[in-house]
Structure 1
Amino acid sequence: MVQELLSKDDLTKFNLQQEYDNSDIQSVIDILESELLGLKPVKNRIREIAALLLVDKLRKKLGLVSSSPGLNMSFTGSPGTGKTTVASRMADILYKLGYSRKGHLITVTRDDLVGQYIGHTAPKTREILKKAMGGILFIDEAYYLYKPDNERDYGAEAIEILLQVMENQRDDLVVILAGYKNKMQKFYDSNPGLSSRIANHVDFPDYSAEELVKIGKIMLEEQQYQLTKEAEDVFLEYVKKRMEKPLFANARSIRNALDRARMRQANRIFESVGRVLTKADLVTIVPEDILKSSLFNS
């Protein structure tokens, strides 16, 4: 059978590189590289998924039988590790390869899907699903949909509707469920129907302190600020301390910390009224702007 298949189609030729170039996937990969520092395992996984989809597309062109690859995904990891950003780029890839009709991303949480009284959940969930059709529905902290200890909770109804759509309209909607890894595993254990519909599991590692400092410098450069060398050393110390505290959210926490540093810098400049300022004064973050954080004074 295999020999017959090959002898029939072995003269059909195609240029894989040309197909890849025509898809313009590389532009999305390049954007992902520029947007996110590190995360090599995640980026490799996205490339693997893109490669599978491209090969599947080529197989269909050659008339080979090919079941549609499962596209629903699970993104696990701490807050601020780039899950939403990667989901957005994944939406672009699916659109460029023709696996998504619109290529848009709808991001929701439990509150967008689950109602507070009988008869409220179904229309809320269906309205969100209607908006997401032709693209990707990204459900953050998806495990909050399931609250088995609360008999009056309507999350189970939202899950049931979601399961029906994932089965009956799987060619027109991709669902990405996201959240902390251990909580997501418990969520899947409690909902085997959902677990069986997830084909791709992608784990997002936490950033190192050094990576977070680099991310912070990129954030500052985008707003035309810079750290002095001494301030960069202090900021690394700040990041290491902050990582040990509760509610740390990787790049999200770094952005918040730098916003506060900019406020302190502005206040420092304001208090120096009467002194002639230079452009360097306006763009430079110095150690004092970071050391005044409560983290160093607690």
Structure 2
Amino acid sequence: MISDYYKIKLEKEANKLDIIYGTGNDFEKLVAEITTNIAEQASLLFFKKIGEEQKKKNSQETAKLPSEARELLFAFLGSRQIESMVDVLKQEANFPLPELQHNLDALVGLEKVKRQVEDLIAYNQIQQLRIKKGLAKSNRTLHMAFLGNPGTGKTTVARIVGHMYKAIGLLSKGQFIEASRTDLIAEYQGQTAIKVKRLINRAKGGVLFIDEAYSITENDHADSYGKESLTELTKALEDYRDDLVVIVAGYTDLMEQFFESNPGLKSRFNSFIFFEDYSIDELVDIFKNICEKGDYSVDEAMIEKVRLWLQNKLDEKDGNFANGRVVRNLFDDITMNQAKRLLRNTHEELDKNLLEKLLPEDVPELRG
């Protein structure tokens, strides 16, 4: 992203300022605070410190430093603001239902998941029509639980569902907010409920997706903050059921424990969707898709070696197999090996064909 580009340049500029002004790592610390938290106070201190140090130094060598540093900081803050606006526009944009249906259908595998989502959309479309005709609507909640191992597309499907619900008029905004334990639990007594309420207010009108939801209650016997968070969340599930979809996700067994941790929690969820592990053919298809999107080409020999590598991982997998994430990590390793191979052969001109082609030798060796 463009803000990452300016972040790197700003960090380099801070390092240069510290060296020239002899300020240890004061400027680096301020920039770290600014780029991590977008801290207004740190930004003001950065400007102030530049002025102070320049007054002390006031030489021809440092004459351009203040203006260059300020321009970089302005560029970084501005790019972050623009990206934030773009994210909001993406979240709240109106996507037509047929386009969203196509996006869902295009996902590799997940046939049972797709059918369940399609059934839910059809059901809720009819409920919307009943309301328009003056008929009573169902009392069924929109909240959902996605169960299964990591890397099975739960977050991707959750995003699509949110946009679908917006498309058929169930949600007013359609934004997608991801949350974890740290977003739901505060560090001090009495602050957790406030933190949950703020998160709910951000998510109202859209989807709140809580991955590894069982982590909220992972210290069940000692974690009063987790219980406080869950109590507030359970209340919100009912209070805002008409314009908020909460989707909780995680391992099947651990999610069962999560639902048992609070009386009445499970009854707030009507839809339980199980995401199965991918088959070997589906994992290979995911790899092909990643290559296509990344402008890499592969031949049959390459695909066969990838298939053997993935089959080996499937054969030795345990209950925590990471599915699509295994494929993504493999792809990253392969492209790293390709880069090293190409740079070893520096006598060759690195044309487009060489840059895009992945070879069987790029596939990492299996560790026995």
Shared fold by TM > 0.5?
A: yes
Structure number with higher helix proportion: 2
Q: What's the counterpart of residue 76 of structure 2?
A: none
User: Where do 1:102-113 residues align within 5 Å?
Assistant: 102-113=173-184
Q: Which secondary structure state, in structure 1, belongs to the residue aligned with residue 301 of structure 2?
A: helix
Q: What's the counterpart of residue 265 of structure 1?
A: 338
1:229 to 300, 310, 335: 300
CA distance in 1, matches of 2:110, 2:351: 38
Identify if the C-alpha distance between structure 1 residues 237 and 55 changes in structure 2 by more than 3 Å, giving closer, same or farther: same
Query: Cα distance, 1:297 vs. partner?
Result: 3.7
Q: What's the counterpart of residue 200 of structure 1?
A: 271
Q: What's the counterpart of residue 16 of structure 1?
A: none
User: Where do 1:29-108 residues align within 5 Å?
Assistant: 29-34=101-106, 36-108=107-179
1:25 to 72, 84, 97: 97
Q: What's the counterpart of residue 253 of structure 1?
A: 326
Q: Which secondary structure state, in structure 1, belongs to the residue aligned with residue 265 of structure 2?
A: helix
Moved more, 226-235 or 239-248: 239-248
Q: Is the 8 A contact 1:105 1:135 kept in 2?
A: yes
Q: What's the counterpart of residue 288 of structure 1?
A: 361
Q: Which secondary structure state, in structure 2, belongs to the residue aligned with residue 46 of structure 1?
A: helix
Question: In structure 2, what residue type is equivalent to 1:113?
Answer: L
Of all paired residues, the percent bearing the same amino acid is 38
Question: In structure 2, what residue type is equivalent to 1:133?
Answer: K
Query: Cα distance, 1:152 vs. partner?
Result: 4.0
Greater Rg over alpha carbons, structure:
2
Q: What's the counterpart of residue 143 of structure 1?
A: 214
Question: In structure 1, what residue type is equivalent to 2:203?
Answer: A
Q: Is the 8 A contact 1:147 1:153 kept in 2?
A: no
Q: What's the counterpart of residue 9 of structure 1?
A: none
Q: Deviations over 1:41-85 (max 9, x none)?
A: 000001000000111111122222223431010001111111111
Larger RCO (alpha carbons 8 Å, 6+ apart): 1
Q: Deviations over 1:216-252 (max 9, x none)?
A: 1110110110222111111011111223246531112
Question: In structure 2, what residue type is equivalent to 1:228?
Answer: D
Q: What's the counterpart of residue 53 of structure 2?
A: none
1:182 to 238, 241, 253: 253
CA distance in 2, matches of 1:161, 1:93: 27
Q: What's the counterpart of residue 170 of structure 1?
A: 241
Moved more, 121-130 or 135-144: 121-130
Q: Is the 8 A contact 2:96 2:167 kept in 1?
A: yes
Query: Cα distance, 1:189 vs. partner?
Result: 2.5
Question: In structure 1, what residue type is equivalent to 2:129?
Answer: L
Q: What's the counterpart of residue 17 of structure 1?
A: none
Query: Cα distance, 1:276 vs. partner?
Result: 3.5
Q: Is the 8 A contact 2:174 2:206 kept in 1?
A: yes
Q: What's the counterpart of residue 187 of structure 2?
A: 116
Q: Is the 8 A contact 2:337 2:362 kept in 1?
A: yes
CA distance in 2, matches of 1:190, 1:202: 20
Question: In structure 2, what residue type is equivalent to 1:178?
Answer: A
Query: Cα distance, 1:148 vs. partner?
Result: 5.0
Identify if the C-alpha distance between structure 1 residues 284 and 98 changes in structure 2 by more than 3 Å, giving closer, same or farther: same
Q: Which secondary structure state, in structure 2, belongs to the residue aligned with residue 257 of structure 1?
A: helix
How many residue pairs align between the two structures?
A: 272
Q: Which secondary structure state, in structure 1, belongs to the residue aligned with residue 268 of structure 2?
A: coil
Q: Is the 8 A contact 2:298 2:357 kept in 1?
A: yes
Question: In structure 1, what residue type is equivalent to 2:117?
Answer: I
Q: Which secondary structure state, in structure 1, belongs to the residue aligned with residue 347 of structure 2?
A: coil
Q: What's the counterpart of residue 7 of structure 2?
A: none
Q: Is the 8 A contact 1:81 1:250 kept in 2?
A: yes
Question: In structure 2, what residue type is equivalent to 1:85?
Answer: T
